[in-house]
Amino acid sequence: MVNQQIAQTFYRIADLLEIMGENPFRVRAYRNAARTIESLGRNLREMVEKEEDLTSLPGIGKDLADKIREIVQTGSLAKLKELERQVPPGLVELLKVEGLGPKRIKTLHDKLGITNLEELKEAAAKGEISRLPGFGKKLEGLILKGVVLAKKEGRRFKWSLAESYVTDILRHLERAPGLENLQVAGSFRRKKETVGDLDILVTAREPSLVIEHFVKFPGIRNIISKGQTRSTVILASDLQVDLRAVDSDCYGSALHYFTGSKAHNIAIRAMAQKKGLKINEYGIFRKDKRIAGREENDVFRAVNLPFIEPELRENRGEIEAAARGQLPHLIEPGHILGDLHMHTTWSDGKYSIEAMAEAAKALGYSYIAITDHSKRMAITKGLDEKRLMEQCEEIERIRQKVEGITILKGIEVDILEDGSLDLPDSALSALDMVIAAVHSKFKLSRTEQTERILRALDNPHVNILAHPTGRLIGEREGYQADMEKIMQRAKDNGCFLELNAQPARLDLNDVNLKLAKDMGLKVAISTDSHNTDSLLFMRYGINQARRGWIEPQDVINTKPLDRLLKLFRR
């Protein structure tokens, strides 16, 4: 996971350099390096520890290699800190606003003196932005909406990025003297798609020694507080980390309390009160006597409930389901038999069909679907009818070569503005499966967007609707559409919705997944991989699925191949 951290660091440096108006070649070098690292099949930490030559990687020269080593060895990068001191913090926040990139931010700063979200909102409300060359009323309106979204999100980290910090912090803490128990709690443990901060619980023979060890973690920018049993620090990435050492006798109840959610905890405490009990982070009490709390399950036993998985603890019916004995048996990574959305060098993927098949086979999959883009996505070298047929022929050849896994012929076909598809039925009929996707015209009205998608689902060749809302977490809200109506049409037509496991998408979200489950609509959990490493993103999709109460039987790619193909016959 250190690869993601390094890639994010290089992307941030590129953005800061561009805001400052630095040499575009330097900017491009950092972005290219970040892309290389994102798709790298090697762990950079291992390469550094083995003293391998980092300059052998595409786009990585001596300077960038030194920076990679610095991040791996210290957890931070002095160059990034230097740039962040030179750029007003508010300008960096503007990068979260849809429609604004570094170049436009520089223009807004140079022409209007804008340095933060509030000033941006004020300028947009006054119509000042639309008067700048290259902006206009439409972009100004988009910026206003983007400011609202950016403020709502605050400083939050995608779960996948937070995980890279968690991995390093836990590795550091495991070496602390006298450590007994160690667990990350909070929204991270509940697998929320974004994380505001990290809550870590420990028990130890001498808690103060663990605290002392913790604050020596490389990559800490500020130590906010340090006591005998608790410390709060801010990492170089701005992520806040709270470490608490608790007594072993109340470790379980503390873990439940700090895992949350707040709404779930309130409901559990209310149940306890009716039984004459008090539950808090210090244990389970009858009057003033602690009667339990060493194990997390003590909390649930106290209110006569079975254990509730952390991903479900949002007070959205999980307590009532537990009381009825009807908690879902949540999906796990081992249930997945194949990946139904990936790209190859035929469009914008980085690896060949054969390489993707071999990588999926190594993961234990029984089947994959090759779903490159269609011709409308010209920037991705999307396939027209002729190239699609040529690809089908290549898949036939590779099927004979690669044993132990079945390669399905597919396509990610664009849904055009009127709901028709980017390829004719004659081409689609030659495939094993078809994914349809919206990649343009996100600003259609709710009615227009809904009708567009419904028409696509009515095409008898469409099997799956990809990334159904089009959102990018923290960057772009999904398009306006009636998801309940879309789900009902998909179910009626024998289609399925995708849970896109890309960590920036996780689309469907947990609420829509629960809605699909309640409607009896099955989903496909797929990675939308553009390289072999991204096949591992499946676990992010599993996390999201578990938050949506999804069980193995709710997912089509838990089915053996023969049953899957029957599902695709509309």
Are residue 499 and residue 402 in the same domain, yes or no? yes
Give buried/exposed letters for 155-174 (b at 16+ CB in 10 A, else e). Answer: ebbbbbbbbbbbebbeebbe
> What pLDDT score was predicted for residue 153?
59
Are residue 238 and residue 272 in the same domain, yes or no? no
Residues near 210 by beta carbon (within 8 Å), at least 6 away in sequence: 173, 176, 177, 178, 179, 202, 204, 243, 245
Are residue 176 and residue 263 in the same domain, yes or no? no
Residue 529 CA: distances (Å) to CA of 92, 280, 351, 371, 537:
29, 43, 10, 10, 8
Closest among 489, 476, 466, 483 to 413, alpha carbons compared = 466
Q: For residue range 225-244, list pLDDT tens digits in order.
A: 999 999 999 987 788 999 99
Q: For residue range 503-547, list pLDDT tens digits in order.
A: 989 999 999 999 999 999 999 999 999 989 889 999 999 999 999
- Average pLDDT of the residues in 189-214: 96
Identify the weakest region by mean pLDDT among 154-163, 201-210, 436-445, 453-462.
Answer: 154-163
Are residue 20 and residue 95 in the same domain, yes or no? yes
Are residue 176 and residue 298 in the same domain, yes or no? no
Are residue 11 and residue 148 in the same domain, yes or no? yes
Domain boundary among 153, 170, 197: 153
Considering the domain boundaries, does residue 328 fall inside one?
A: no
For residue 28, give the CATH number of its domain: 1.10.150.110
Cα 353 from Cα 533, distance rounded (Å): 14
Domain span at residue 316?
250-323
Query: The whole model's pTM is what?
Result: 0.83
Are residue 366 and residue 295 in the same domain, yes or no? no
Are residue 459 and residue 537 in the same domain, yes or no? yes
Identify the weakest region by mean pLDDT among 216-220, 298-302, 419-423.
Answer: 216-220
What average pLDDT does the chain have?
Answer: 92
Q: Within 13 A of 359's CA, how many CA atoms are on the CB side? A: 19
Domain boundary among 96, 122, 153: 153
Are residue 432 and residue 505 in the same domain, yes or no? yes
Number of compact structural domains in the chain: 4
pLDDT at 140 over 90: no
Residue 148 CA: distances (Å) to CA of 96, 122, 386:
10, 12, 45
Asked if 285 and 277 count as a contact pair (C-beta separation under 8 A), the reply is yes
Considering the domain boundaries, does residue 379 fall inside one?
A: yes
Residues near 518 by beta carbon (within 8 Å), at least 6 away in sequence: none
